[in-house]
Amino acid sequence: MNKDNVKLAIAPIGWTNDDMPELGCENTFQQTVSEMALAGFSGSEVGSKYPRDPAVLAPMLAIRGIEICNAWFSTFFADGQRDRTLDEFVNHMNFLHAMGAKVIGCSEQSGSIQGQNRPILGGEKPCFSDEAWQRVAEGYNTLGRLAAEKGMQVCLHHHMGTGIQTAAEIDRFMSLVDERVYLLYDTGHAWYAEGGEEPMLAILRKYLPRINHVHLKDVRPAVIDQVRREGLSFLDGVRKGTFTVPGDGAIDFRPVFRALEEADYRGWMVVEAEQDPARANPFEYALKARKYIYETAGI
């Protein structure tokens, strides 16, 4: 891939899991960003331990050569919480804008079971009504307009346990929103939702012109099989090792990199692989990911 077009980041969730703060509670913010830089990454998403004052955060990142590329934002349009979502979004957007980020990754969390003790593959995830889909589409179109006014872009993070998890749900979402709303493509969630590499790649190829942010996440199919067999929750699976960094799981990322290069993708690729840091040392796995990406993508 052309290293002038693509930047590499890594998410802090491998050091401290915001959904399960006991995982990696011992890892400080400064250790996290120092190890990111030492492992060869130039960007980061934002974790719960990051200072939220740009005047404090920016110099701490600058001395390590780290940029902020994105930060998770939860939307609740399907549930009818439009005003609250828009108010919180503006504050979130302004923070990211101050940090120099161009992308705002959002997840529609209405009815989400990703943080609940319910089977993630048991058919209990939310399914939106036609009216809810319209609320989601109108809401995201509004977010897209607000972001464009700041020179930024909004993207939807398809995610296990949410109402936009499957390829069919991604299709519906993308057909309803306008051209100012993009897709955050996540290899791990696509594989998990669709059960294999080919359908994962099909989502990528279909929406290449609309993808503006990429999460590189590998999977361990044996753990996913256990999650299905035992009716485990999403977070149970994370603890057991559903996800890992590129080069350590089942996914061959070469077709992913090839498709992005052929589409002249310009933006960030973010290693995002939530694991238990006690079982998967974050620095060691960051180095493993960086080496794999260099060997397979040439960057």
pLDDT, average across residues 3-24? 89
Q: Name the pTM for this structure.
A: 0.97
pLDDT, average across residues 226-230? 97
Residue 50 predicted with pLDDT over 80: yes
Give the Cα separation of 172 and 257 in Å (integer): 26
What residues are paired with 181 via a beta bridge? 154
- Model confidence pLDDT, tens digit, residues 128-180: 999 999 999 999 999 999 999 999 999 999 999 999 999 999 999 999 999 99
Q: What is the mean pLDDT of the chain?
A: 96
Lateral strand order in the sheet of 181-186: 67-70, 43-45, 6-10, 267-271, 211-216, 181-186, 153-157, 103-108, 73-75
What domains, with CATH codes, occur in the chain? 6-297 (3.20.20.150)
Give the Cα separation of 38 and 54 in Å (integer): 22
Distances, alpha carbon 166 to alpha carbons 126, 177, 203, in Å: 11, 17, 10
pLDDT, average across residues 52-73? 98
Q: Report how far Cα 234 is from the mean position of its chain's Cα atoms.
A: 15
Nearest Cα neighbor of 39 from 1, 7, 9, 61 is 9
Give the Cα separation of 97 and 152 in Å (integer): 8
Residue 209 predicted with pLDDT over 80: yes
Instruction: Say what the pLDDT of residue 3 is.
Output: 86
pLDDT band for 21, please (50, 70, 90 cuts): confident
pLDDT, average across residues 117-124? 95
pLDDT band for 85, please (50, 70, 90 cuts): very high
Backbone dihedral angles phi then psi of residue 201, each to the nearest 5 degrees: -70, -30
Q: Name the residue with tokens 């009815």.
A: 111
Residue 79 predicted with pLDDT over 80: yes
150: left (phi over 0), alpha (psi -120 to 50) or beta: alpha
Residue 20 predicted with pLDDT over 90: no
pLDDT band for 229, please (50, 70, 90 cuts): very high
Give the Cα separation of 222 and 67 in Å (integer): 35
Q: What is the 3-state secondary structure (H, E, C) of the chain?
A: CCCCCEEEEECHHHCCCCCCCCCCCCCCHHHHHHHHHHCCCCEEECCCCCCCCHHHHHHHHHCCCCEEEECCEEECCCCCCHHHHHHHHHHHHHHHHHCCCCEEEEEECCCCCCCCCCCCCCCCCCCCCHHHHHHHHHHHHHHHHHHHHCCCEEEEECCCCCCCCCHHHHHHHHHHCCCCEEEEEEHHHHHHHHCCHHHHHHHHHHHHHHEEEEEECEECHHHHHHHHHHCCCHHHHHHHCCEECCCCCCCCCHHHHHHHHHCCCCEEEEECCCCCCCCCCHHHHHHHHHHHHHHHHCC
Instruction: Judge whether 152 and 95 are in contact, CB under 8 Å.
Output: no
Instruction: Say what the pLDDT of residue 144 is.
Output: 98
Q: What is the dihedral of CA 22, 74, 68, 280, to 10 degrees?
A: 30
Instruction: Say what the pLDDT of residue 110 is.
Output: 98
